[in-house]
Amino acid sequence: MSLLLKNRGALLLLMFNLFLVFTGIGLVIPVMPKFMTELDISGSIVGLLVAAFSLTQLLFSPLAGRISDSLGRKWIIVIGMIVFALSEWLFGAANSAFLLFVARMLGGIGAALIMPAVMAYTADVTSDEERAKGMGFMNAAITTGFIIGPGIGGYLAEFGVRVPFYGAAVAGLVAGLITAFILPESLPAYKRAKLRAAKPAKNRNLLSQLIYSYREPYFLSLIIVFVMSFGLANYETIFSLFVDHKFGFTPKDIAFIITFGSIAGAVVQLTAFGWILERFGEKRVISTCLLAASLFVLLTLFVSSFWMIFAVTFIVFLSIDILRPAVSTQMSLLARDQQGYVAGLNSAFTSLGNIVGPVIAGMLFDVDINYPYLLAFIVLLLSFVLSVSVGRRNAQTTA
């Protein structure tokens, strides 16, 4: 029996946790225009809210990755789910921009605890041959959460923009309790002791880890993770504000576009992602998705009808949904026995891009609503160029 089938119960529970987390994160997308009006906040503040989430994720991700290597994956995931639940409740209760920032920062801490531990857990319980499929399952859960989240947020916003957040808080707490009682630990005690003893050089603070990451064989992959996240954050942060201000779309319209524009990505991740990587390889898949995403982000500036925006968004989301697990798989294969540590660095570089991208996008949005997408196109195109170099270097490293 394959490791994937043997551990399918644990992987399903992890998928459920990720689904809940990213459902909660996705809730905010269609309701942010209403929050902007209700709390009188600008596009710059919206960008800073997204950056606040990513900043705390950045600060805690490498630490969480190391802790999961030394203490195990399970309890890091449980704690992360509880923190996530608290952040969702606070966001729903917030009546000021300050409390929204506090809630988003707590959410970043929860994501920092959950994501590296989940990816490392997946690596623990899958073989090298099954790794792409396992990562595809996890990212499918993330994608599905993003699909369901905006849909729930958009449709329930007509009855009250805060109700969905309370529901996400309850669901997150329940999921954390289920995980505590059911999920087995994937990293045996002897392996945790071995990692603590064998990797003293990895016990650096965050700044040192980022600085010295250039020595690692996967450094160019980390750079592309940063640049890619920067460009994608521009697109995703501003999307609901862009179509609200430019075309007058309602939360229902926004939820419809995001929901159906992302469904194909989830289907591909669950059914064909492993085959795509086996057939074309990580390098070609990553490069192709980056090129497609960059071109269709640019096209967003030249379409005007609802269905044309829907079509362009569909291609962008599909590219992103294939791209993310492909990069995660590439990083995991290069990590060898440092799965938690590298997953933490991966999350940290993602957070760096997600900090800088939304802040700049929010400021550019206040100047001209088209500027964030123009920047996203340039950055994603740069990511495509970098990916060619990364692919060559990684091929040499794994040869």
Residue 126 binned pLDDT confidence (cut-offs 50, 70, 90): confident
Task: List Cα–Cα distances, 8 to 139, 152, 322, in angstroms.
Answer: 15, 28, 22
Among 341, 18, 380, 58, smallest CA distance to 202 is for 341
Distance of CA 336 to the CA centre of its chain: 22
Q: Would you state the pLDDT for residue 86?
A: 94
Q: Give CA–CA dist 126/210, Å, rounded.
A: 28
Give percent above pLDDT 70 in the chain. Answer: 81
What does the angle CA 8 – CA 9 – CA 14 come to, to the nearest 5 degrees?
95
Assess whether pLDDT exceeds 60 at residue 133: yes
Tell me the C-alpha distance between 147 and 355, whole Å: 23
DSSP-based three-state secondary structure for 159: coil
pLDDT of residue 213: 67
- CB count within 10 Å of CB 149 equals 28
Q: Which tops the pLDDT comparison, 328 or 318?
A: 318
Q: Which of 394 and 9 is assigned the larger pLDDT? A: 9
Tokens matching residue 287: 């490069």
Q: Is the pTM of this model over 0.75?
A: no
3-state helix, strand, coil in the chain (%, to 5): 85, 0, 15
Sequence-ordered list of residues with C-beta below 8 angstroms from that of 103, at least 6 positions apart, any chain: 87, 88, 90, 91, 94
Tell me the mean pLDDT in the region 147-158.
73
Going through the chain in order, the beta strands assigned E by DSSP cover none
Q: Residue 163 pLDDT more than 90? A: no
Confidence of residue 90 (pLDDT cuts 50, 70, 90): very high
The 10s digit of each residue's pLDDT in 12-55 is 888 888 888 777 777 766 777 776 777 777 778 878 887 888 78
Q: What is the pLDDT of residue 85?
A: 92
Residue 262, both tokens = 């992302």
Per residue in 230-266, pLDDT tens? Answer: 777 777 777 777 888 888 887 777 777 777 766 777 7
- The tens digit of pLDDT for each residue in 319-357 reads 877 887 787 777 777 766 666 677 767 777 877 887 888
What residue ranges define each of the domains in the chain, with the CATH number in brackets? 7-197 (1.20.1250.20), 204-398 (1.20.1250.20)
The 10 Å CB-count burial string (b at 16+, else e) for 340-372 is bbbbbbbbbbbbbbbbbbbbbbbbbbeeebebb
What count of other Cβ atoms lies within 10 Å of the Cβ of residue 130?
17
Q: Half-sphere exposure of 187 toward its Cβ, with a 13 Å CA cutoff? A: 30
Task: Pick the closest to residue 12 from 181, 185, 183, 188 (CA basis).
Answer: 183
Rounded CA gap, 362 and 355, in Å? 11
Between 1 and 382, whose confidence is greater? Answer: 382
Instruction: Provide the pLDDT for residue 4.
Output: 58
Query: What mean pLDDT, rounded, does the chain reach?
Result: 78
Task: Tell me: pLDDT of 206 over 80.
Answer: no
Q: How far is CA 234 from CA 135, 204, 229, 247, 285, in A?
A: 25, 31, 9, 19, 22
pLDDT tens per residue across span 181-200? 888 877 666 565 666 565 54
At residue 391, does pLDDT exceed 70?
no
